[in-house]
Structure 1
Amino acid sequence: MDFQQGLISTVHDYSLGNLDAVAFNRELSQRPTTLLIPCLMEEFSRPALGLIRDTLSGLKGLNELVVALAATSAEDVKAAEKFFEGMPFPVRVHWTNGPAVRDLLESVGELGLDVTGPPGKGWAVWQGLGVACQDAEVVGLFDADIRTFGSAYPERMLRPLLDRSHGIAYVKAFYSRLSLETQALQGRATRLFVGPLLASLEQVFGPLPYLAYLQSFRYPLAGEFAFTTDLAMNLRIPSDWGLEVGLLSEVYRHVASSRIAQVDLGLFDHKHKELGQQPSEGLQRMAGEIFGTVLRGLMEHEGCVMSMDQLPTLEVLYRRVGEDRVRQFGLDSAINRLPYDRHGEELAVQNFAGLLRPGLAKLMQAPIAHQLPSWSRLRSCNSALQADLAAAGQADRTSLKRPNHNPQRLTSELAA
């Protein structure tokens, strides 16, 4: 626990427990706020989602909850709707891969835009934002697998946005990721890859503003964040594992650092991802895509391109910084009496280092990322698309009839 500030405003957790549910609900009711949870059907069989539901049931001032659900059938969607029955606010279960949604999004191709995927969290978040931003001024996002979810999470993450006098447009969570079972440190992609990578890139390219911005975030890969809808509507959404860093890049493009905050949520645990046996699996795949996203951001914001001649320097620097971080986290764990697998952490750094060379080659072959277009751009093509998507995501909408289709007639077709 500290009270240090930096480039972006940091809201610390002083462990005083100063929560006020009555005041928070009053603040929610004064600025329409929607929560978005991207979700797979398998999450409904795990206790985490039930904990999240029960905790959110206290938010009587919430405008709406949007659950962006990937499901195999309308029956699954209806089961999800039943799971959320009795909440004190409207709950919209949006079927992200339902037939009507697929049909609708394929039709957008006639406008020269590909929004049909790929399936994953980015695609679900993009759809969920389109639905959630219709009737809200603030949208907050939480993952469906948070095992430590408590009432402090939404209150602390949303309050900086509810009072306009703070001037905040974007809030990012950070936390201490510890396993509930073993108390071991988690978050290897952040601790052992992103942190050392950014420090190494700073040595290669110098103290660039974009790198300073990324390093200001205590947990850049946190999947929990909130923003005003006018900002959310103007962000392109990455559709791969670079989602969180890619969104930070988009926020950097649109918002001054004085309008950004990060909030400490304290102890945090969610579903653990394995390292993977090869670069196309687990954390290795995730790290590879994050690397491409970071380098692409340097191109876009700083005009800096990493050459193959610079790569050996980056590889050497990353290994050194990564190994230093392993030693530091080992000390941190030892003094806090936490278990620590130093050998496993060293192997993770070794595997992550092996992703840099193929990652740069892949980026050079395809430097333009596939990003889902912002909703403000889509509205300029078809002003009814958000409402059409919301209607198509209903469980009872199994098809979209489109004879002699015209993209501007989607609303009337869905209303039929």
Structure 2
Amino acid sequence: MEALPVFVSLRSNFYERSSSRQVSGCTRLTLLFVLIFNLSRCSSALRVIGGNITEVQGETVVLPCKLIDTTETLTQISWQRMTRGKPQNDNFYTITSQNGPQFVNGRDDRFQIIGNFSDKNGSIQLSNVTLLDEGVYTCIFTLFPSGNHETKIPLNLLVPPVTSLSHNHAVLGNEEVSLATCTAAGSRPPAEVRWLTGTLAEKVRATDSSTQHSNGTTTTVSSLFGVPTKEINQHVVQCVVTNPALSKEETMSFTIQVYFSPMGVYIGEKSKDSFRCVTEANPSANFTWRRPGHSFPQPGVRVEGATLQFLSMSSDLNGLYQCEASNLYGKDSGYLYVHMTSGFLLDTPYGGACSACWALFSLLLIAIVAAAAVWYLYKSGKLTRMPGGTREEMQKVRKTSSGSEEPQRVEEEVEEEADETAVAVQETQRSR
């Protein structure tokens, strides 16, 4: 009867020891579960903030990387890259609290840490960025005890175009030619090129072409076409280039140039003793004065560019003078006949335009020259009176501005002007 309590007591002690072990195991499992839960909660709560960066080539870019919402211990910040210049994933930069920033696999001083390790800020700066730097950068934070946490930062580059505007040497004609070329070279993305032509919108047209390069950039060329006429010469047009890499659109102005040789040479009176040679040409003409059959210049005459000035009223200066206008595209000439008598200067421009005030005098002088020519031909036997009428063998003097005149014939025909006409000429000169 006494053994039963002993048996019960032993059994009770066994159960107590077993229960104690079970409680201890449950406690350890609970603690492990709580630890894992807390770590999981901490890991899911922290964040690594980066970004998607777009920058212009040649500028300085910031690659942001910051760890937030964690109290774990930071042991290291690492940077990796996979770029055009480094197509394989490459570790290139580390930061620790003990050693600070250090380059890995080669030094590149364009990189600089701008964050703070203590603030869990691993942001870096890259200066003078190029297309070879374009790619994906990875920022990695190593924490204890949770391990590595990272973010990827794509870097995209814009490349501004190199712009230029050139003109083509369009010569006066009737066929359509290229007048100007506007180029936006090596841009990314491709540049947009357009023309502002104003009143020439119906007379010119633009054609565009583009070439893509292996580095991802594009060159865009726009040509302006039109018929090279005097009507469009000297008109101003503009080439406008736009691109996201430019802070503002780029505008280049251009004056259309149509080149042509001198067209018509006109000799007009500049003052009472000087005359000026005028023509229309592009580029501007150079003027050369000559006196056919005589050395020139000579005493009593001064030549300054297009101007011919008589310094004295000597009859030695009587005769024909030629003004030649020339440029790279051709030449043309005009003529001036000068006759001085009793201190008066009389002139007749050939191939030139007389001013209105000379109209009356010119008519009178032509009549005098014609009379002198008839008299000269009659005296020389070239003019003969025949039965039934009169036959005249005389040459007409061409009064045009072409370069093929016969200046000697003009001079010979008027040099025979008789002295008896001097009085009439003087009277005309006084009436001017």
The TM-score bracket by the shorter chain reads: under 0.3
Query: Whose relative contact order is higher, 1 or 2, with alpha carbons under 8 Å and at least 6 apart?
Result: 1
**Higher CA-based Rg:** 2
Which structure features the higher share of strand residues?
A: 2
1 or 2, which has the higher helix percentage? 1
